A and B are shown apart, each in its own frame.
Chain A
Amino acid sequence: MASRYDRAITVFSPDGHLFQVEYAQEAVKKGSTAVAIRGTNIVVLGVEKKSVAKLQDERTVRKICALDDHVCMAFAGLTADARVIINRAQVACQSHKLTVEDSVTVEYITRFIATLKQKYTQSNGRRPFGISALIVGFDDDGIPRLYQTDPSGTYHAWKANAIGRSAKTVREFLEKNYTEHAISDDNEAIKLAIRALLEAVQSGVKNIELAIIRRNQPLKMFSAKEIELQVIEIEKEKEEAEKKKSKKTV
C-alpha cells in the first residue's frame, strides 16, 4: 500500500501519512546521537562523533554550529542537508538584526528553520530535509531555551532531549536523571550531558564532542582534554556510588 503513496512528497496516503516525511525521520534515526540539556544558567550540547578514517582530517567534521553569538544548534541526519539549513539560518539571524536591530530569539530562529523544513514538505519536486535539529541558546531576557525540530517542520520546546541513533535510550536516561539538582550547577549539567551520551556511545571519550553556552557568553567548544577531565570525574563519582552501595549491602 505504502509504495503507491511514497513517491511524491505532496501526496497523502489514504490513512493520512506523508510517507516521504516519515522516511526522512528514519534517515534521522540513522544519524549519530545528539543530546541537549537546558540548565538554569547554562545550555549544553553533546554529540557522538563518528569515527573517522585514518587519513581523514578530524577537524572538518562539525556537528555543532553557532547560528549567532547566543544561539547554536546540533543536528542528526544527513550532513549535507544540515549544511544548507545552517547557512540559511545564519543569514536569517543577520537579516533579522539588520531589519529590526535586535538579535533573534531562539524561538524565532527555530520557527524559521521549522518553516523552511515545512516548505519542503509541500513543494513539488523536492524532498524533505533529512535532519532533526536541537537548537539552544539564551534570549535577551536571560532565559535559556532548547527547541527541537524534525523533518516534518514541527518544533517543540524541551528541558532535555536526544535525537539520532540511540535517542530513545538516551531520552529514557534523561527522564530518570534530569532533576532540579542535576541542572542547578553548571558543572552538574555538563556531567549529565556526558553521562547521557555515554549511554549511547560505546567507544568512550574520544568520540564525544561537547559545547556549552553560558548566559551572555558565546559558544564554547570543549577540547578533548576538558572532556576527559569531566569523564574522569564522572567515573570517580560512579565508583564512589558503587562503593556506598556495596557498603550498604555488606
Chain B
Amino acid sequence: MALQDVCKWQSHFQGPSPHLPQAGCWAVPRGCDPQSFLRIYGPRLAHGTTTLAFRFRHGVIAAADTRSSCGSYVACPTSLKVIPVHQHLLGTTSGTSADCAMWYRVLQRELRLRALREGQLPSVASAAKLLSAMMSRYRGLDLCVATALCGWDRSGPALFYVYSDGTRLQGDIFSVGSGSPYAYGVLDRGYHYDMTIQEAYTLARCAVAHATHRDAYSGGSVDLFHVRESGWEYVSCSDVCVLYRELQMFTEAELEGEAHQTQPEPVILRGAEEGGEFPVGPREMAPGDSRIPAETETL
C-alpha cells in the first residue's frame, strides 16, 4: 500500500523480527564477529576418531571405528566413517562429520560431471586434487576435514591423504584421527606391500582395535572396506571389545606353546570366510542400513 511504503512501515506479520539473524546464520551478540564467538563459546563439533587406510598389492584397505564424540560424550556409537564416492573410490573421514559428509557429496558431483564429460572417471589423484583445491578456498574458516581417498584406477591401487587446508599427500599407509598414533604403531609393524588379503584384513582390524583400546574418542566397532580392481566391498564390521579380547587370547596362545602354532590357523581361516564378502554389493549400501549386527569376528 502506498502509505505504508512512504512511511516505510513494516507489518509484524510479514516476516520474522528484524532482530533475529538471517536464516542460516548464528545468532550472536551485536558487535561480535561470528567466527571468533563460535571459537570461544560455540558447541564443540564432532571430532576424534581412528581411521586408517593402506595400499598393497591386492588393493586398498580402509578401516575406521564408529564412535562419534562431541566433547566428552558419545554422540553416536555407530556412525559410518567410510564414505563411498563411486564404485572404485572410498574416503575415510575424520574431523567434523558434517563437513566431511558435505564435501564428499560435492566431490561425488564433481567426479560424476567429469565422468560424463570425459567418458571416463577421473583418477584418484585427480579426485584428491579436486577435493583439496575446493577446500583450500575455505582455508582459515575452521573447516576440518582430514580424509584418505582410497581407490583403484588405471594406475592400480591408489591412496591419497587430503586435509582441509589443502594438503594433499600420496602414500602407502595413512592413519587419521586422535587414535592414529596407536594405529600407526601397529601398522608400521605389520605392513608390507606383498601381504595376502587375509593378512591385510587382520592387520587393519588389529590396528583399529589397539587404537580404540587406548584412545577415549575411538570405539564402537571396526568397519572394514576393501577396494579391489572390480570395485569396493564392505568386508566386515566387528565390535572392538570382542576383537581386542580375541587379540589378547591369540597372543597368549602364541606365547604358551610353540608346538600349538598350527592350531590357531584353522580358526583364522574359518572366521575369515564367514566375514568374507557380504551379499551387500556396491551402491546398495546406504549409511542407514549398513549396520550388519556386530558379528563376533574371530581372527
Contacts and interface: CB of A to CB of B under 8 A. Distances in A.
Contacts of A141: 154
A81 to B, nearest CB: 26
Interface of B: 114, 118-119, 122-123, 125-126, 128-130, 133, 154
B130 A100 contact: yes
Interface in A138-156: 140-141
Given A140-B154, A141-B154, A101 B118 contact: no
19 contacts: A99-B133, A100-B114, A100-B122, A100-B123, A100-B125, A100-B126, A100-B129, A101-B123, A101-B125, A101-B126, A101-B128, A101-B129, A102-B125, A102-B126, A105-B118, A107-B118, A108-B118, A140-B154, A141-B154
Nearest to A141: B154
Contact of A99 (B118, B119, B130): B130
A107 B114 CA distance: 14
Nearest to B122: A100
Interface of A: 99-102, 105, 107-108, 140-141
Nearest to A104: B118
Instruction: Point out which of A101, A108, A140, A141 has the most chain B C-beta atoms below 10 A from its C-beta.
Output: A101
A141 B123 CA distance: 13
Contacts, number: 25
Nearest to A111: B117
Contacts of B122: 100, 102
Nearest to B160: A101
The 10 closest A-B pairs by CB, nearest first: A100-B126, A101-B129, A101-B125, A101-B126, A102-B126, A100-B129, A100-B122, A102-B123, A100-B130, A108-B118
Contacts of B129: 99-101
A108 B122 CA distance: 13
A114 B18 CA distance: 52
A222 B128 CA distance: 40
A100 B126 CA distance: 4
Contacts of A99: 129-130, 133
Contacts of B125: 100-102
A189 to B, nearest CB: 27
Nearest to B119: A107
B16 to A, nearest CB: 41
B189 to A, nearest CB: 32
Contacts of A140: 154
A108 B119 CA distance: 10
Nearest to B168: A101
Contacts of B130: 99-100
Contacts of B128: 101
Contacts of A102: 122-123, 125-126
A164 B176 CA distance: 59
Contacts of A108: 118
Instruction: Point out which of A100, A102, A140 has the most chain B C-beta atoms below 10 A from its C-beta.
Output: A100
B154 to A, nearest CB: 7
B118 to A, nearest CB: 7
Contacts of B133: 99
Contacts of A107: 118-119
A99 B129 CA distance: 7
A126 to B, nearest CB: 25
B51 to A, nearest CB: 23
A140 B125 CA distance: 14
